[in-house]
């Protein structure tokens, strides 16, 4: 199957860019977890979270594999992009729920959260989900189990 139409071109570009972002930020998470000072960590809200970094790397590899197959003309690579989108959205939802729980806790027990700010909850897994969510909304009509 050939995937040279315009929609697939945009999906290839999206898959490549988002995979590189996930892989880069996942690697930064792991590097920070191994006590490496990357210098960009504070600016990008990257914490020393090796397991979170591993999750980001897995999502990035799924997106990259989808890009690689789409770029080779294998239309089924779109399934990897969709799976990467679902994984990304689930990861973003988890971070949003944790952030909401921490925010509620800060109102209930304010003495435990002196010096805490809501931006302390911001993580790459949360903000990388935003462009994925937008892409999901744009391409939601393309999700189908049947080949038409």
Least confident of 23-27, 110-114, 128-132: 110-114
Nearest 5°: phi and psi at 135? Answer: -65, -40
Which token pair is 16? 């490549």
Element (H, E) at 31: helix 6-33
| The predicted structure's pLDDT at residue 32 | 75
Length in residues, the chain: 148
Structure confidence by residue, pLDDT tens digits, 53-68: 888 899 999 999 999 9
3-state percent helix, strand, coil for the chain, nearest multiple of 5: 75, 0, 25
Would the CA dihedral through 14, 99, 96, 63 be positive or negative? positive
Report whether pLDDT(25) > 70. yes
| The predicted structure's pLDDT at residue 1 | 38
| The predicted structure's pLDDT at residue 2 | 43
Report whether pLDDT(80) > 80. yes
């Amino acid at each position: 199957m050939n995937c040279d139409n315009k929609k697939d071109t945009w999906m290839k570009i999206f898959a490549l860019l988002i995979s590189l972002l996930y892989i880069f930020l996942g690697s930064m998470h792991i590097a920070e977890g191994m006590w490496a000072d990357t210098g960009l960590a504070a600016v990008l809200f990257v914490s020393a979270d090796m397991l979170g970094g591993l999750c980001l790397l897995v999502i990035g590899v799924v997106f990259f594999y989808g890009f690689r197959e789409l770029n080779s003309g294998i239309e089924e690579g779109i399934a990897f992009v969709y799976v990467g989108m679902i994984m990304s959205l689930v990861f973003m939802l988890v971070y949003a729920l944790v952030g909401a729980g921490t925010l509620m806790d800060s109102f209930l027990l304010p003495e435990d959260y002196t010096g805490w700010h809501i931006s302390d909850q911001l993580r790459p897994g949360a903000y990388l989900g935003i462009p994925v969510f937008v892409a999901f909304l744009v391409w939601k009509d393309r999700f189908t189990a049947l080949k038409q």
